[in-house]
Amino acid sequence: GNFAEKNKRYQQYKICLVGFVAGQNPIKPGLVLIKEAQVVGSLWGRWARTHPDEFRRNMNEMLTFMAEGTIEPRADSIFDLDDYVKAFELFERNEGRGNTVVCVKSETSFNVQTSKL
């Protein structure tokens, strides 16, 4: 949306869609055609199912990074499992501004920060 509008001079760029958050501007089909852009969607779940070894390796690496403090997970909203309906309602209303987490356990070994988007 905004990137394409602000960068109209760039020809033949690629737009990669990975997840969605509320408040995003739609991609204008006319601009995609005029700029000969490519729009690529990413279905993470499908890739994880078809590449289980790579997925497991990636997840283990990210969990190691979190355990070592190299990266810190960020979340927009965190819900207890008992409030999972509220999490889905947030999603259905398109009001999420980042990752929405439903905690299966109340304790966690990682320091999760709530982002201020």
Do 76 and 100 contact (CB within 8 A), yes or no?
yes
Which DSSP letter does residue 23 get?
T
Nearest-angstrom CA–CA distance, 91 and 102: 12
Q: Is the pTM of this model over 0.75?
A: no
Which residues, at least 6 apart from 26, have a Cβ–Cβ distance to it below 8 Å? 1
Residue range 11-50, pLDDT digits in tens = 567 776 666 555 556 677 777 787 777 877 777 788 889 9
Give the list of residues 6+ apart from residue 66 with CB closer than 8 angstroms, or none: 72, 73, 110
